[in-house]
Structure 1
């Protein structure tokens, strides 16, 4: 019978001798400690020093701006909506966010405190699954919810300009839900700012933010508003100012929707190449000109290149900030060319 040691093990089973690594107890894993905010920022700054890396930081909404005013203060309302779909005549608002802030007309910079409103609205219809996936807003979240119309009304008082990133989408929805929006001046940061000329590859809000080193959880109305306010105030260079200045300048002058009434069929390729669009319902080519000078130049081009000396009368719709991006018709004229 084999001789046993005091521990009851045979001689060949002495501790540490002939025992496979798998048989030894595994020490518990050490949990990695998440770096503190200051440590993470230090690492980010170190990465930024290397040419092979770019750092993105989460956008932190600002509720106060300490810029000194050098010009007249304008009251601006930055607005965004989340809706059940894309058609204002059929779909409904399910979230509305507003940032009310003073903006220096000279520098384009926000000044002082930012007043925030963000409200949910029961649209009275099921939210499509694809919309829920994009926004994260569910039927349960909006059930029984109503926008605070009294609070919104107070925020609209004395507003000089409403800004939305795609006002042609947001304005019809807002006017359908709250008619007070119809009397206000609107500007579109997507269309009224020439982002390409300013060096941006895309005018999408997320891409504009990324180009300045910010990321955020898009497709919720309030954070989209904060992202837009931040992007509009970024300096673009000593000679270019910022995008808010460009937006204020564009909103101060009318634009013109020009219809090439009765344009000959053979001119369609030339019109399309010049960025005209075809209105299938009215059966006419049309375009939008940013100012009166561009309108006159376009009328001269139509006369020479499209109508070629034939008598013609075109339709011009003058759009100011109160009618631009609305479904209402602006001031109409029909000049002969």
Structure 2
């Protein structure tokens, strides 16, 4: 409990002695709560979550150390359709990292702006991110500032890049020329022992919570997560993600697969495209591609000769709505 010890109770602002006492009392309470949290952590029946506090400095580089520049990015939109819906908030953190170790060093710039989509925001989406028509009225994201921040960036990272990238590219075509990575798809969270790839859940396993579903807050949460060491591979989450940029990635289309093999394909993480009327799956590297083609020939096409399509996806194409280079392969 905090008491206001002021000579004139009618005053809304406390005097300097009151401010000093209030500050000291708040600090004491914080220390007391932290001690309680530490005591709870020692008991196997309790887990403690602390509020994530954004910090611009994760590690201090040594003089002359070569660092790369990356961006973690998040959008809030009017809906899920990149062709008809619009970005109404763009959040980005520009940060430095070591491309060899995957260690995060410091945040160089913070960006978070709102934009008026030109039509009412659906109530269902406002209920998620709490962005209202009044908040975005007359607002426009600074295009020149966005372009400036992207100078020298080697990778753009989003948690579910397949959602954010099409929206961002539709609004700012310059993002088509950048390498993208996805912190959901490019890290094998299940292999690392996690039951879900949701950002809130993953961060909670590291002992933190945050106010989700606003762009800047989600960016801070993602960068904090990328700086943590994965329990099985014992490397930073960022390094696990960066290694996928150096791997050839292909999408295999099981053209003309028999109907009765659909459950088998689904169990192997193939996804159905109603537009293409075809099952497809992403693979990484030539070895995994050859193993997948062999599996298709044995399990799906019953050792019969078949023609499938293979689409090559580099960092500048994957997770976008644009197509990579396609070729027909006979198996």
TM-score, normalization by structure 2: 0.88
1:285 CA drift (Å) = 1.7
Deviations 1:87-141 (A, max 9, x none): 1011100100010011111221112343100000111111111221211111100
Q: Would the aligned equivalents of 1:74 and 1:103 in 2 still touch at CA under 8 Å?
A: yes
Helix, strand or coil for the counterpart of 1:286?
Answer: strand
1:332 equivalent in structure 2: 326
1:95 aligns with 2:92: no
Helix, strand or coil for the counterpart of 2:148?
Answer: helix
1:335 CA drift (Å) = 1.2
1:22 equivalent in structure 2: none
1:63 equivalent in structure 2: 56
1:305 CA drift (Å) = 2.1
1:73 aligns with 2:57: no
1:231 aligns with 2:231: no
Deviations 1:35-71 (A, max 9, x none): 6322222221222222222111100001123333697
Q: Would the aligned equivalents of 1:72 and 1:106 in 2 still touch at CA under 8 Å?
A: no
TM-score, normalization by structure 1: 0.86
Deviations 1:135-184 (A, max 9, x none): 11111000000101111111001110000000000000000111111110
1:111 aligns with 2:111: no
Distance 2:324 2:66 in 1: 28
Q: In the alignment, which of 29, 37, 41 is matched to residue 36 of structure 1? A: 29
Distance 1:33 1:65 in 2: 26
The higher radius of gyration belongs to: 1
Q: In the alignment, which of 133, 138, 143 is matched to residue 144 of structure 1? A: 138
1:258 equivalent in structure 2: 252
Q: Would the aligned equivalents of 2:90 and 2:114 in 1 still touch at CA under 8 Å?
A: yes
1:50 equivalent in structure 2: 43
The 1:207–1:115 alpha-carbon spacing in structure 2 relative to 1, beyond 3 Å, is same
Aligned residue pairs, count:
306
1:239 CA drift (Å) = 4.8
Write out the 4+ residue segments of structure 1 that deviate beyond 6 Å after TM superposition.
none
Unmatched segments (≥5 aa) in structure 1: 1-31
Helix, strand or coil for the counterpart of 2:318?
Answer: coil
Compare 218-227 and 51-60 and name the one that shifted more: 51-60
Distance 2:72 2:60 in 1: 18
The 1:91–1:234 alpha-carbon spacing in structure 2 relative to 1, beyond 3 Å, is same
